[in-house]
Amino acid sequence: MSTTVPRVPDPVGSAVGQAREVSARAEVPAGGPDVRRRSTWNNLSLITLTLLGVPVGTAVAGAPITYDGTLPLTAWLALFLLLRRRWPVLVLLVSLAAITAFRGAGLTEAGWVWPASAIFFLLAADDTPRRHGLLWAVGAGLFQLAFAVNWQWTVEGQDAQRAIGEVGGEALGLALTIAVAVAFRNWLRWRAELAAGLAHAEQERRLKADRRAAEERLQIARELHDVVAHTLTVVGVQLRVADEALDDSTDEARAALRTAQEVRARAVGDLRSLIDVLRAPDDRPDAESVPAPQADLDGLAELTARTRASGLEVALDVTGDPGAVAAPVALACYRVIQEALTNTVQHAGARRATVRLAITPDAVRVEVVDDGAGPGPVAVPGHGINGMRERVAALGGTFTAGAADGGGYAVRATIPVAGFRP
């Protein structure tokens, strides 16, 4: 089996998709009971506003409210609003045409533009792509105002100054309506962008948490493999030695069993530390976080001594100061040496192994060479080789494993001191 890092989604693509989804929800209401109920209330509110606003506005303007002019025009304008979602531009043009027809026929005397304020506002606030609602509202409003000035001047016989003065008030009202609509549209855009930004931030937080969890799982998998594999190898060898020496030398059998017990006890402590790391903070034995099992270069002597007890002759050559090596680099070097020796005992059939550790100000170099057969040229790397390679690569180093010059098998790793990133 091989360790697989869970695949995480692309943050840029996911964020863009969520932003588009949020924008779409802000522009076009989706189906559902709540949305339909809200749409019904909007329709009722707009129709009520028109049915009350046009007669009230007519009365405020000092014009008579007529049953054959003002009220039918009000009813038509309210009914046109029911079609605003599908044909908003057509509703605006038809509403202005109805107002012009009623004014031209003398059925009403108040307003050229303001009776259609509701559809002007809705169209100017519309942010639907390729609809150009704001341009239609401004263009249709200016045309209607120009037509009103010309009508009152040429048809009704008013002088130009009075006609412009009367229509000027409607022009100011139209400008205010459009300004409020544009402000409302910008507020909707800001809210959609804010929602998209929050969604993006949440997605980024999830992605970082997923990556961090994947890295932690991979690190724990490496530690479990290194601890368990090395422990089982050493314990297995010692038990075999004890079994073979039981009849001939009870002292040698006891020594082998003691070594197996010491290795087992240390492995149990390491496994408990890993289990505590995996637990939730409230489930741990104490309130403080429990560190994962660590190993440093000072333990190489003990590591090689345990390996010698398995029957493999191990020579250790250390140059430089192990105490000057940063903890992450030291742990990686220790695990590489531990795994290489474990593989040598398990698979190589070697009699002798040499461990070299060279520490310089710029890098730490590890080399483990044995005189065994190695895994062979067609062997598929397992957890051990992959784990060593991943450890070294995570610190910016290089790793090689293969046949050594002159026979045997060699594992080499170089980790630059500056390559570590916390």
Domain range summary for the chain, segments of one domain joined by + = 12-205, 297-422
CA distances from 97 to 43, 56, 144 (A): 22, 21, 9
pLDDT for 34 equals: 64
Find the radius of gyration of the CA atoms of the chain.
42
122 pLDDT above the threshold of 90 = no
The most confident of 41-45, 171-175, 417-421, by mean pLDDT: 171-175
pLDDT for 412 equals: 93
Determine the average pLDDT of the residues in 372-399: 71
Class of domain 297-422: alpha beta
Determine the average pLDDT of the residues in 177-190: 87
60 pLDDT above the threshold of 50 = yes
Rounded Cα distance between 95 and 111, Å, is 12
What percentage of the chain reaches a pLDDT higher than 90?
A: 7
Task: Tell me the sheet residues that pair with 313.
Answer: 352
Give the E-state strand segments of 191-343 in sequence order. 313-319
What's the pLDDT band for 220 if we cut at 50, 70, 90? low
152 pLDDT above the threshold of 50 = yes
* Phi/psi of residue 325, nearest 5 degrees: -85, 135
pLDDT for 32 equals: 56
* 80-89, 93-102, 151-160: segment of lowest average pLDDT: 151-160
- Token pair, residue 124, equals 């100017």
Helix, strand, or coil (residue 182): helix
pLDDT for 279 equals: 55
Q: Tokens 């422990």 map to which residue?
A: 231
* Closest C-alpha among 269, 352, 356, 270 to residue 310: 352
Kindly report the average pLDDT of the chain as a whole number: 74
pLDDT for 257 equals: 74
Which tens digits make up the pLDDT trace of 237-284? Answer: 667 666 666 667 677 777 767 777 676 666 666 666 656 655 555 555
Determine the average pLDDT of the residues in 366-385: 67
Q: What number of H helices and E strands is found in the chain?
A: 11, 5
The residue type of 327 is A
* 86-100, 163-177, 231-245: segment of lowest average pLDDT: 231-245
Number of neighbouring beta carbons within 10 Å of residue 192: 18
313-319 and 352-359 as β-strands: parallel, antiparallel, unpaired? parallel
Rounded Cα distance between 402 and 411, Å, is 7
293 pLDDT above the threshold of 60 = no
pLDDT for 368 equals: 92
Rounded Cα distance between 414 and 127, Å, is 59
367 pLDDT above the threshold of 90 = yes
pLDDT for 29 equals: 43
Determine the average pLDDT of the residues in 278-294: 49
Global pTM exceeds 0.85: no
366 pLDDT above the threshold of 90 = yes
Determine the average pLDDT of the residues in 147-166: 74
Determine the average pLDDT of the residues in 328-357: 85
pLDDT for 95 equals: 86
Question: CA angle 107-109-110, nearest 5°?
Answer: 125
Which tens digits make up the pLDDT trace of 74-86? Answer: 888 888 888 888 8
Determine the average pLDDT of the residues in 211-223: 69
Q: How many residues does the chain have?
A: 422
pLDDT for 358 equals: 93
- Token pair, residue 324, equals 């000057």
Number of neighbouring beta carbons within 10 Å of residue 86: 8
pLDDT for 414 equals: 93
* Closest C-alpha among 140, 135, 133 to residue 116: 140
pLDDT for 206 equals: 84
What's the pLDDT band for 226 if we cut at 50, 70, 90? low
pLDDT for 398 equals: 92
H/E element holding 333?
helix 327-343
pLDDT for 237 equals: 66
Rounded Cα distance between 370 and 53, Å, is 96
